[in-house]
A and B are shown apart, each in its own frame.
Chain A
Amino acid sequence: MIERKVSVMVVGAGPAGIAAATKAAQLGLETVLVENRDILGGIPLQCVHPGFGLHYFKEDMTGCEFIHRLIDRMHRAGVETIVNAYVHSIEFYSQLEKNVNVVTQSGILRINTKTVIYTAGARERHLFELNVHGDRIDGIYTAGEAQTIMDLYGVLPGKDVVIIGSGDVGLIMARRFALEGANVKAVIEIMPYPGGLLRNIVQCLKDFNIPLYLGHAVTEIIGSKRVEAVKVAKVDEDQRPIRSTEFEITCDTVVIAAGLVPNIDLLEKIGVAVDPRTKGPIVNEYLETSIPGIFAAGNALVVNDLVDYAAEQGEIAADGAKIYIENCGIPTRNWTRIKPGRNLRFVVPHYVSRERDVVLYARVQKPERNVYLSIANFKAKMLSLRPAEMIRIKIPFNRILEDNHRVISVEVVPYE
């Protein structure tokens, strides 16, 4: 067993992890980044479509271009990286020492670190997490898996495709299939509104004449060796299928794009407190979790729709790690709890110090136009808010909150 000592250990070399490791190194902290795949970059590697980097680099790039720019920058900052490295377990020893056990092909690496920045991304919701019955047959792929085999390994999964879920990955994959000559028969969305960005609805579905069924659900998958058809029905307000509206679509492929869940098994094993709304850890404004010195960023913290925000969160966490190391812990503050109020599904981070500007990430429950985002006496005008588009807003908490604010709710309120 090889033992190592570092200040910052970053778990997962996707956009958040790479940005975190880069920032940590730039701040002069001894940093190591581990990645379980054999290549750095994470999911953007397989994203051959544009729309990356508009905020972060003020440029429109593909996922591959974006991530390679981040990787180049990280190498210039001198970060040590280890690929084919699987984090087996994290042990919390003390405020200043965590042991991270990493399985590599040269043996077990035991990294003793002051801080961990956890950026292990998200996993996709799969068939069995949806209310879909029927046969468990070949021809069913999660969107990410379909994207991996198409764009990393050049495999065409099928030719007549039904996509479950209109999240961005589903929309992007609808277009990918269409571009390769497949017949994308339908995108089925259980909610009454699309799950993905407006630009993707236009560029991926409308431009390719792909039908989008809002307020519908796939109820059953039919087939013997491979998918032959799906049953689809309208749903009522509680998202229960209305059987009388059921119809069949023949297809040979089902792609599940029903959303992502933060991949935080390792954190849950050591007792990190989890927000049931985001399914990610509860964090303070440094993105530190409930366990001292363990930070989270990117999709492992909260499912983002833009890579730019994932990278930004990585940097915030690196700043946090620096403060943590300098002070032997994040100094005690008179924390104010931030809670989601009217029409908000979640708000991250969960605690702020009221001492500085903090970037809030939030998502509305349902679409709403002509509203304010309101916190105490602070109001920001928003023309249109949609669940698919995460709100990112920098809030000057030091100016808007009084000392007596222990819990403050963030709300979406209509124009008066």
Chain B
Amino acid sequence: MKKYRVVIVGAGIIGVSIARVLSMYENFDVSIAEMEPDVGWGISKANTSIIHPCHEEDPERYPLRARLCREGNSIWMEWVKELDILARWPGELMVFHSSEEEREARKYISFAIKNNVPGVQVIYRDELQSYEPTINPDAEGALYAPTAGMISPFEAVIAIAENAIENGVKLIVDTRVSNVKITNHSVVGVDTNRGSIDADIIINAAGLYADHVSHMAGVARSFYIKPRRGEYIVFDEGVDIKPKKILHTTPTPTTKGVYAITTVHGNLMIGPTAEDLPVDARESRTTTENGLSYLLKEGGRILNRVPPPSKIIRRFAGLRPEPPQGEWLIEVYTDPFGFVNVAGIRSPGLTAAPAIANYVLKLMIKKYDITLVKKASWVRHRKSINRIRELSLERLDELIRKNPSYGKIICHCRTVSEAEILEAIDRIIKIGVKPTVDGVKFRTTAGFGKCQGSFCRWRIALLISRKLDIPLHSVVIKRSPYGLGDVKLLLRSRMVNKT
């Protein structure tokens, strides 16, 4: 059996899903090169977090998208259990307000039939409130799709990455691919800012930069990704509007649907906007005044009441990689041999990710004539960090007796203990990543609450500084250190300059 050295470019949901699938077999020796300091910090971090039922995918226009979205929806139901990822399956209601919108919504029934999506039906106003009490009573009806789910998307990436790494995948972060090396029409490796990596197969899952990587390999030269910005607003957990189901507006030719959901972490979230940015604006995650007012307005169309803006605790924006004509570019090339594009994976990319991973493997088997050999010792399951937030007091009491660190609360808003923070730091180190305060935040939700970290950021930073044995000021928050140095730094440098 030939063992292929595989480099996956990008540790987003697509990259880690492919890594997990490949890690099941003896045939591959997989590394992931990620340009960010941690996994899932690109497109995967900031999106609506929905696992779509697949009744919105046009099977004629986008057959691949429709097929993989439908498959992905079912696979996630297994993956979230295997990998202990926070998820809910409440179903969704596509709210319509007019006969025109109803016509649009009804269009998706035929998609649902063709895509084999179960349970899709129209609910009218008289029944709507019993399906969802928080829905706007002016709505005429809604298209119900019971198989819609939601997950914590960043937790999903982390969970899959941890599992893949446990199964032998290597992760290299802070590593930006600058060149795809090709000899005799075959890929031989990549150059990066941290040296080159040899490879027989290069899988391009580089998200917003996948067009660049594809061009490095000399394929799909006319393929360009346009960043599309989506803004979101998140409300305090304490607000009384908490939809049980996933609610969203009916998409129209001019506007995309806006969602109102209660996230898996318990916050009302409204979003996204959809704003096409210039091709080079691939780091533009700014929030805008227009975005905020649009979301409040659209939220009002879905919900019976939008909480006051003063209850917003977080605003963020993510970028989605919009490919030409909305068409995913999934292709396994024979020239150059060993190059694989998984590019332009726009919505429903999160839903389809596990199915995309299986599909990519199938294409590779066919094109590269691989005979798969299953690993005897592949580990299917991964456990999440033990969270005390939802525990009963009795269970928490037992846990503290075993490990007193569970009894020391670091994040007061979301009840996150020191033990959880320490476990997050250990897990970050274990996958080969440098611990950051943001890395801990996305693994524990410490800092997600009402005070947005003003009481816990320094506590988390202190724990990291002790663990790594580095000064507090050099602990990295997201991408830069907490402080410039010790508090007398500037005065001391002035003294030195004077003398």
Contact = CB atoms under 8 A, between A and B. Distances in A.
B170 interface: no
A1 B397 contact: yes
A270 B316 CA distance: 31
B185 to A, nearest CB: 38
Nearest to B317: A136
Nearest to A144: B454
Contacts of A104: 400, 407
Main secondary structure of the interface of A (DSSP, over half): mixed
* Most chain B beta-carbon neighbours within 10 Å: one of A36, A84, A124, A133: A133
B334 interface: no
Contact of B450 (A1, A103, A123): A123
Contacts, number: 144
Interface in A156-209: 156-159, 180-182
Interface residues of B, number: 56
A157 B483 contact: yes
Nearest to A131: B289
Given A36-B409, A105-B408, A156-B487, A127 B452 contact: yes
Given A104-B407, A145-B454, A128 B313 contact: yes
Interface string B287-315: 11100100000000000000000101111
A88 B486 contact: no
B455 A181 contact: no
Interface stretch (B127-135, B253-261, B370-378, B470-478): B470-478
Contact of A107 (B238, B314, B401, B415): B401
A131 B291 CA distance: 12
A154 B473 CA distance: 9
B455 A106 contact: no
A49 B418 CA distance: 31
Contacts of A105: 400, 404-405, 407-408
B286 interface: yes
B451 A136 contact: no
Contact of B480 (A123, A133, A139, A220): A139
A24 B207 CA distance: 62
16 contacts: A88-B393, A103-B409, A105-B404, A106-B404, A106-B407, A108-B393, A108-B394, A131-B289, A133-B315, A135-B286, A144-B454, A150-B487, A156-B486, A181-B494, A225-B479, A265-B238
A128 B487 contact: no
Interface in B451-477: 451-455, 457-458, 461-462, 472-473, 477
A80 interface: no
Contacts of A106: 400, 404, 407
B218 interface: no
B498 interface: no
B486 A155 contact: yes
Contacts of A137: 478-479
B489 A156 contact: yes
A268 interface: yes
Contacts of A154: 472, 486-488
B490 interface: yes
B286 A158 contact: no
B123 interface: no
